[in-house]
Copies of this chain bind each other. A is one copy, B any other.
């Protein structure tokens, strides 16, 4: 059907999230049609990214500098450390401008099933970042793994006097009650607030 370089490219493209074999083929076809304007620039952008990106030694973020732009930003509140599972979660919180604090990226969650213990996560540096005035916001996903990881971190830091909080559960902004799961509805009811707030 086509040369081995094309087959190899389709095979690698199909390993990207969101692309199956069929859409990878379509993407490669588009790349080959637009050799000058898409294939070349994409190859160069990948090389540039490969050469530039590093993992931040402070927080575990992936960026083009170490420390990353967030850790290096003096306008950030370095006393508020938002602990997230993944760089994608950090990006989501940044898009939402949810915090002016800094982050700590764990790189996953504890999972006995998958053999992910505390040593597999970026936990060792976390305690060292916590001073007496630090607030740790545990922004893990609201999954079993995320929540057990949050509890593990609470236990780990329990005797250090660190202030620890977690994200609120409740009705998503714009969400309709009828479409919400029971757990979210029950959590939102338990955490109900006086109307004045």
The interface residues of chain B lying within 8 Å CB-to-CB of A46 are 9, 31, 39, 42-43, 46
Q: Are A17 and B26 in contact (CB under 8 A)?
A: yes
Our pick among B25, B32, B40, B63 for the contact of A2 (Cβ within 8 Å) is B63
Residues of B within 8 A of A40 (CB): 50
A53 to B34 Cα, complex, angstroms: 12
Q: Which of B8, B17, B26, B43 contacts A88 (CB 8 A)?
A: B26
Please tell me if A62 contacts chain B, counting CB pairs below 8 Å.
yes
A38 to chain B, nearest CB (A): 6
- With CB as the reference atom, state the residue of chain B lying closest to A25: B91
B43 touches A39 (CB 8 A): no
